[in-house]
Structure 1
């Protein structure tokens, strides 16, 4: 309770003691000692107006009532009752604020009767009661306004904390999910490459006895696949590198290079999607077909979500001697976001492209709509062993 006292409460209590407290002692010269005994705890209870508003208000109300009945007349120190009413309305429960308001009105009645008993002059009693009750009402109303602002501020702060925590969690989940997908791709690349290497090594071992040239060719194939696999692993590990080495076990992810099937699944939802291929298809590096499929899937999904109803989409797969180009367009609103704000979609596309030395360009088209263009080299980037 005492640990919650701040310097502003200390200053407020001292200020009250040095003003209304000293003024009360000066007014009650005949009972100066007794007045001091009542004034000091009354002002001291203001220290608890934030940390224990109910205790503070009950103590102030009780001491003020005791002072009135002991001296038979109000003193300036009774103004701290208004401070207590304000504080319990702001920092206490709503029920405590209502009870304190009723207590304030009762105190206004006692105050007016002390100064002008109604059996002597009802008009004079009302003259004292009305402004006193008005002061009580104003103190309570100001407390309600301050309480409303404080609760609104706390609600906004809590919302900001929740949003920040949500954004942090979404970012972590997006990164973790993307790393898990890339790890599954690494599993596929390594498994495929090792299977070919083992098959070529076994074949070369037996062929060496009959045809040395076949054995040499098998060894060359093993070396080429080994270099390509090493390059793939280095690219993947560069993306997955993190300080936390404890990651979840993952299962191999099935690959798929048939974009037409993916387009057909989107068509089955009722969307207008065209699919065009240009050039002669070329052999793809291990894992590249999955990258094409995932980028195409992400681009079509974002078009479905953001392009608007009735938008038309097109998928172009273009083959050249050196690169394969995937281009996904829509004629929608042109401001389609790649993600919901966390950045996972575009980051995932770029990471998949970077695995093979490619790149992704995404943004609104000049003629309207949105475009995602993925370019991947058909030859592995050579790296020194």
Structure 2
């Protein structure tokens, strides 16, 4: 069996030593002319040292020695109290099926003693012995129940701690996913706009300084917004986000996104009819349009025509971004996580997401399930 031979609590070891010493001392009181009686008592005392570790085995040894003693001497001896100690150990520490078996064995021993021991002819003496066995049984059973209750409580506490750790890990993973989406939205869109504007400014800087100046101002504005968003995200990571006012992009941000895309040479038709949606839904709509326009700038480029449609009903919000693929792709490259991020955002709202070719261009279509507000 696994584990130490003796329990780790030294006070229990000392108690077991004290009980074994007491039983051995009681056996030593008998005259040396009865060495068998003394040997039985010493055997019981030694067996009791292991009663916590092997309760059923110790009970079998002590019970067998008791039967031998009764059969040879014909009456109970004072050190036969070891049987009750072993009996209590089984009730307290043994398996439940062994408890009732040992109780039956003790009852059978009492019947045997009634017939063998002449002292048991006195009803008071026999009643005392039976009452003592009943008290030992009752007290041991209470101790067993308290022990099982303590173990169950400890197990529940451990399970609660494991569940708490699991929830913390899940929350941390969800927070990391949220931050990763925000970083992607901020960095990918801002860089895509800045790269397209920088390329455009490079081509027209000598021919049309006004357009080049406008492109550079757009780059500066986009860069400032990106820095502000990055500052907010870093503040969240550092735990001091209370010092930074939150920025929740609303539907008015769609005009800003469309304006930046137009300045990069994209022709945009913006049709929005989504009054009354909440802040979380507005943020999702803005991020979907932002990511879709980022992909247009990367993969379709200047000269592309894009139709942006946002419609809200009592139950759903529909977002559709479709381009004709007629532009000149930029050299920004990259990508690969945008569609995944958009799908995750839509699924958080219990919606549906589709993205794929549409004629020569590309179409992103999402349907968000609106939350039902209880009156």
Query: 1:197 and 1:17, CA in 2 relative to 1: closer, same or farther beyond 3 A?
Result: closer
Contact kept? 1:20, 1:77, Cα under 8 Å:
yes
Residue 24 of structure 2 corresponds to which residue in structure 1?
21
Mean Cα deviation higher: 81-90 or 212-221: 212-221
Find the aligned partners of 2:122 and 2:112 in 1 and give their Cα distance: 10
Find the aligned partners of 2:59 and 2:45 in 1 and give their Cα distance: 11
Contact kept? 1:111, 1:129, Cα under 8 Å:
no
Find the aligned partners of 1:29 and 1:105 in 2 and give their Cα distance: 32
Residue 117 of structure 2 corresponds to which residue in structure 1?
115
Residue 4 of structure 2 corresponds to which residue in structure 1?
3
Find the aligned partners of 1:20 and 1:56 in 2 and give their Cα distance: 14
1:212 to 209, 213, 218: 209
Find the aligned partners of 1:63 and 1:260 in 2 and give their Cα distance: 87
Contact kept? 1:49, 1:56, Cα under 8 Å:
yes
Contact kept? 2:75, 2:118, Cα under 8 Å:
no
TM-score of the superposed pair, with normalisation by structure 2: 0.61
Query: 1:88 and 1:126, CA in 2 relative to 1: closer, same or farther beyond 3 A?
Result: same
Q: Does 1:134 align with 2:131?
A: yes
Q: How many residues align?
A: 260
Find the aligned partners of 2:77 and 2:86 in 1 and give their Cα distance: 16
Contact kept? 2:21, 2:45, Cα under 8 Å:
no
Residue 48 of structure 2 corresponds to which residue in structure 1?
46
Q: Secondary structure at the match of 2:72?
A: helix
Find the aligned partners of 1:155 and 1:224 in 2 and give their Cα distance: 62
Superposed counterparts of 1:94-243, under 5 Å: 94-116=96-118, 124=121, 126-240=123-237
Contact kept? 2:197, 2:216, Cα under 8 Å:
yes
Q: Does 1:30 align with 2:33?
A: yes
Query: 1:25 and 1:180, CA in 2 relative to 1: closer, same or farther beyond 3 A?
Result: same
Structure 2 unaligned blocks of 5 or more: 240-248, 252-273, 282-310, 317-344, 349-369
- Aligned alpha-carbon RMSD (Å): 3.3
Query: 1:175 and 1:105, CA in 2 relative to 1: closer, same or farther beyond 3 A?
Result: same
Superposed counterparts of 1:205-284, under 5 Å: 205-240=202-237, 257=251, 260-262=276-278, 268=315
Residue 85 of structure 2 corresponds to which residue in structure 1?
83
Find the aligned partners of 2:312 and 2:125 in 1 and give their Cα distance: 83
Find the aligned partners of 1:124 and 1:34 in 2 and give their Cα distance: 26
Larger Rg computed on CA atoms:
2
Q: 1:11: Cα distance to partner?
A: 2.5
Q: 1:267: Cα distance to partner?
A: 6.1
Query: 1:21 and 1:201, CA in 2 relative to 1: closer, same or farther beyond 3 A?
Result: same
Find the aligned partners of 2:200 and 2:75 in 1 and give their Cα distance: 114
Q: 1:201: Cα distance to partner?
A: 1.2
Q: Secondary structure at the match of 2:33?
A: coil
Contact kept? 1:111, 1:128, Cα under 8 Å:
no
Contact kept? 1:73, 1:115, Cα under 8 Å:
yes
